[in-house]
Amino acid sequence: MINLFFMSKCEQCIVRELSSLKALNKDELLRIAECKTSRTIKKGEPIFEEGDVVNGVYCITSGICKMSKLSANGKDQIVKLIKAGELLGQRSMISDEPANLSAIALEDMEVCFIPKAEILNFFDTNNQFSMNLMKTICGDLKETSDHLVSISQKTVKERLAETLIYLQDNFGKNPDGSLHIQLSREELAGMIGTATESCIRLLSDFNKLGLIELSGKKIILKDMAKLKRIAD
Amino acid sequence: MINLFFMSKCEQCIVRELSSLKALNKDELLRIAECKTSRTIKKGEPIFEEGDVVNGVYCITSGICKMSKLSANGKDQIVKLIKAGELLGQRSMISDEPANLSAIALEDMEVCFIPKAEILNFFDTNNQFSMNLMKTICGDLKETSDHLVSISQKTVKERLAETLIYLQDNFGKNPDGSLHIQLSREELAGMIGTATESCIRLLSDFNKLGLIELSGKKIILKDMAKLKRIAD
DNA sequence: TAAAAGTAATGATAATTGTCATATAAATTG
DNA sequence: CAATTTATATGACAATTATCATTACTTTTA
């Protein structure tokens, strides 16, 4: 009865729908349900940090987190954002290395932890699963390469426009039209790779030009066409 | 007899020694030897270009190439360098997408092409091979993330020092002590993500400070300690 | 609710980096 | 080998971006 309960939970889980785990059959899901542990993470808290040994994979059931790295000058570069339905920690598990990036909650989160042994077992016995995992990581690699080229070749203004569009496209907007994802100015600066003040200044410029609207912490994209033109 | 000949060639191949292919057994190597095609690429020529459909994987038998992407402003960002012993085109093969980056020879190269069907077959039947491939791609992902943070957070001067050290550590030096890999100033600028003139200027500065020595196209690293300190 | 702490906004200024022009050196070609 | 092209180097200047200082606004905490 307890097993059925857990199994049903994993079966209906958003992570199962969206991630590599969709290749798992009922038996395999049952095994996960039996070994997984759930955790709640509060906004601002880490799931794991750079250098931690992560002996498994985290499934994001709800919430959003940032994957970032502290650089020598003390600034936090956000490499990637992760939302519900995705897995976390796959790379360091496969490479058998400590985490290269910190994962910190941007809102309250629910995550499930699946131990490494379980995942590696599926990797060996379920080709569709390993192929899915592989494709996910390849997708990450492409995204990161493109991000690298963008940071390297675009101006801060272009990157800000690009990032605002990215945030709306990937995390949606609230009923009032503002970006759903809540980033501080410092975090937004960390995403585009610039100083906080430069980021704030450009947001003000965009605001004055009517491209966006700022009300408190909320950002509303007003002129997508022009933003897209700036972003290239 | 012909098969034995080819098999022996693949068995002794540097790519077999160094890449994911080391997991293949004699039978599997024989199959590769039978289906592979070899090619010579001259310096400056592409193996494939951004957008090309690459229906397999290239083994680099000799030579070095750059993986780069043309950005909107016409500059070529070098994302990665690849040398003998490595595989090329794995990501786009697995993602089933056109190449995201161009691969262009920096010196004359010898490459072997292995069709996709063959590789995917090994992927399904040889767990060690798929694990190796996975680890390679995970390694690439880590490297690219770190490169991203470096480009985003370090100054051009820091990145130049870092890149010069990287080039010496990974591609060695000639008998006269100069960097073995031959990059034009434009390419070096494309690696560190800056304008060609800025790159040239900083090389001159490093030269005047005695950190490096420039003689023609050759670059000799003279003061590794100081270069490392600059690179952080 | 008032004080404190943190976050956002803006000005002033400095440092970094890019662009354009031009000179010099090296490589290629007829 | 001279002529042409290409790559490297440098100067002058402009644009972008960072840093530091200050103020205004929000949120948290006592």
pLDDT by residue (tens digit) across B48-62?
Answer: 999 999 999 999 999
Domains and CATH numbers, chain A: 37-115 (2.60.120.10), 153-231 (1.10.10.10)
Give residues with Cβ within 8 angstroms of B232, minimum separation 6.
A72, B154, B158, B162
Angle (CA) A159 A163 A164, round 5°: 120
Reported as a pLDDT band with limits 50, 70 and 90, residue B93 is very high
Across A112-138, average pLDDT: 94
Average pLDDT, chain B: 93
| Dihedral (Cα; A12, A13, A18, A21), 10-degree rounding | -90
Residues in A closer than 8 angstroms to B77, CB to CB, are 148-149, 152-153
Answer yes or no: are the C-beta atoms of B140 and B86 closer than 8 Å: no
Q: Evaluate if residue A165 carries a pLDDT over 90.
A: yes
**Mean pLDDT over residues A32-43, rounded?**
93
pLDDT band at B7 (very low <50, low <70, confident <90, very high): very low
Nucleotide nearest to B204 (CA to C1'): D9
Question: Mean of the pLDDT values across residues A39-48?
Answer: 94
**CA A219 – CA B134 distance, rounded (Å):** 39
**Region for A188 from its dihedrals, namely left if φ exceeds 0, alpha if ψ lies in -120 to 50, beta otherwise:** alpha
Average pLDDT over residues B32-56: 94
Cβ-based neighbours of B199, under 8 Å, separated by 6 or more: B156, B160, B185, B188, B189, B192
Rounded distance between C-alpha atoms, residue B94 and residue B119, angstroms? 10
B41 in Cβ contact with B108 (< 8 Å): yes
Please compute the mean of the pLDDT values over residues B189-214 and round it to a whole number. 96
Of residues B1 and A101, more confidently modeled: A101
CA of A120 to C1' of C14 (A): 54
Q: Is B62 helix (H, G, I), strand (E, B) or coil?
A: strand
Residue A81: is its pLDDT beyond 90? yes
Cβ distance B101 to A145 less than 8 Å, yes or no, reads yes
Task: Specify the higher pLDDT residue, A73 or A99.
Answer: A99
Partner A contacted by B154 (CB < 8 A): yes
Average pLDDT, chain A: 93
Who among residues 124-163 of A has its Cβ near strand C, under 7 Å? none
- Across the range B188-204, mean pLDDT stands at 97
Chain A closest-CA separation from residue B169 CA (Å): 22
Indicate if the pLDDT at residue A140 is higher than 70. yes
pLDDT computed for residue B6 by the predictor: 45
Report percent pLDDT > 90 for chain A: 88
Total residue count of chain B as it appears in this document:
232
Helices then strands, each counted (H, E), chain A: 10, 10
Question: What are the strands, taking DSSP E only, across chain B?
Answer: 37-41, 46-48, 56-62, 64-70, 76-83, 87-88, 102-105, 109-115, 212-215, 218-221
The pLDDT assigned to A9 comes to 74
Averaged pLDDT, B67-95: 94
Is 80 exceeded by the pLDDT of residue A8? no
Q: Is the pLDDT of residue A1 over 80?
A: no
Q: Does residue B217 carry a pLDDT above 90? A: no
* pTM of the complete model: 0.93
CB A45 within 7 Å, strand D: no
- Within 8 A of B145 by CB-CB distance, chain A residues are 69, 79, 100-101, 144
* pLDDT classification of B216: cutoffs 50, 70, 90: confident
- The tens digit of pLDDT for each residue in A189-232 reads 999 999 999 999 999 999 999 999 998 889 999 999 999 999 98
CA of B198 to C1' of C18 (A): 8
pLDDT at B9: 74
pLDDT grade for B11, boundaries at 50, 70 and 90 = confident
Whether the beta carbon of B198 falls within 7 A of nucleic chain C: the reply is yes
